[in-house]
């Protein structure tokens, strides 16, 4: 099943006292169930803007965008929020953890919107996910007591706890050392494989990019394919 389809998608923002800024133009992208796609690009190339469109945080200025088989333009209000909350998992570069809440409380947050067993078992489910990212002994620690790498792993656990069908990862290993980063990517891929979720990863790390089935570069607002392999040390 095709989970993401962008057809001639563009994104332009209005600026005060300046000409409109075109960030994305004529973007074509199709991602199937279970597929792994990596996107590289220089800072300011529009990678985060593209991820926000795919995650239904923003809307395209032009073109057609279909997420999980639905036209994004028809997803409004509560329906849009439900699709984003239930079916899409975000791994943010800035973590976006709730201050003053423990690691397990942060990971439980997405489950508060579930019904049935997941809601009532949310603490157990969150604890199991934290154990999978190596934080089983840090469940009661607040973000300010965690290192950057630990905060990133909490953010990853929170994104995966609902087992979304589409996982959007913005530099998911940016705050981790090489060994831990590889372990965390294995976890993300493992959870994605369990549910046949699609995984779209934005990364500056060629080693992380090479893990994907398909490699793309965002350049001058357009998505272009890379060669079958991403050369180590290539600019991103």
Q: Which of 143, 184, 187 is nearest to 163 (CA)?
A: 187
What CATH number did the domain enclosing 215 receive?
A: 3.40.50.300
Whether 105 maps to a domain, the answer reads yes
Whether 230 maps to a domain, the answer reads no
Whether 13 maps to a domain, the answer reads yes
- Taking 50 as the threshold, does the pLDDT of residue 12 lie above it? yes
Domain assignment of residue 196, given as a range: 2-225
- Taking 50 as the threshold, does the pLDDT of residue 233 lie above it? no
Taken in order 175, 132, 92, 229, is the CA torsion positive or negative?
A: positive
Whether 88 maps to a domain, the answer reads yes
Q: What is the per-residue pLDDT across 15-69, written as a single tens digit (0 to 9) for each?
A: 998 899 999 999 999 999 999 999 998 888 899 899 999 999 999 999 999 998 8
Q: How far apart are CA 189 and CA 167, in angstroms?
A: 10
Q: What is the per-residue pLDDT across 133-181, written as a single tens digit (0 to 9) for each?
A: 889 999 999 999 998 889 988 998 999 898 899 999 998 887 777 787 7
Q: How far apart are CA 56 and CA 154, in angstroms?
A: 23
**Sheet arrangement for strand 21-32:** 21-32, 2-13, 62-67, 70-71
Whether 232 maps to a domain, the answer reads no
Whether 233 maps to a domain, the answer reads no
Q: How far apart are CA 104 and CA 123, in angstroms?
A: 7
Whether 235 maps to a domain, the answer reads no
- Per the structure, how many domains does the chain have? 1
Whether 234 maps to a domain, the answer reads no
């Amino acid at each position: 099943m095709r989970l993401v389809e962008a057809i001639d998608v563009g994104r332009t923002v209005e600026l005060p006292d300046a000409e409109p800024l075109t960030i994305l133009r004529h973007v074509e992208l199709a991602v199937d169930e279970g597929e792994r796609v990596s996107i590289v690009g220089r800072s300011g190339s529009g990678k985060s803007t593209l991820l926000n469109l795919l995650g239904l945080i923003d809307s395209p200025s032009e073109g057609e965008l279909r997420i999980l088989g639905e036209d994004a333009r028809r997803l409004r209000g509560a329906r849009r929020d439900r699709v984003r909350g239930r079916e899409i998992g975000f791994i943010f570069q800035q973590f976006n953890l709730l201050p003053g809440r423990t690691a397990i409380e942060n990971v439980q947050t997405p489950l508060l919107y579930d019904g049935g067993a997941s809601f009532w078992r949310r603490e157990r489910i969150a604890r199991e996910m934290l154990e999978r990212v190596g934080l089983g002994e840090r469940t009661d620690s607040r973000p300010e007591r965690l290192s950057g790498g630990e905060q990133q792993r909490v953010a990853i656990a929170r994104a995966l706890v609902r087992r979304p069908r589409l996982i959007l990862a913005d530099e998911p290993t940016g705050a981790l050392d090489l060994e831990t980063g590889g372990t965390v990517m294995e976890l993300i891929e493992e959870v994605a494989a369990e549910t046949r979720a699609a995984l779209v990863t934005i990364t500056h790390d060629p080693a992380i990019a090479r893990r994907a089935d398909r490699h793309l570069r965002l350049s001058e607002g357009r998505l272009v394919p890379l060669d079958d392999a991403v050369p180590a040390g290539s600019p991103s």
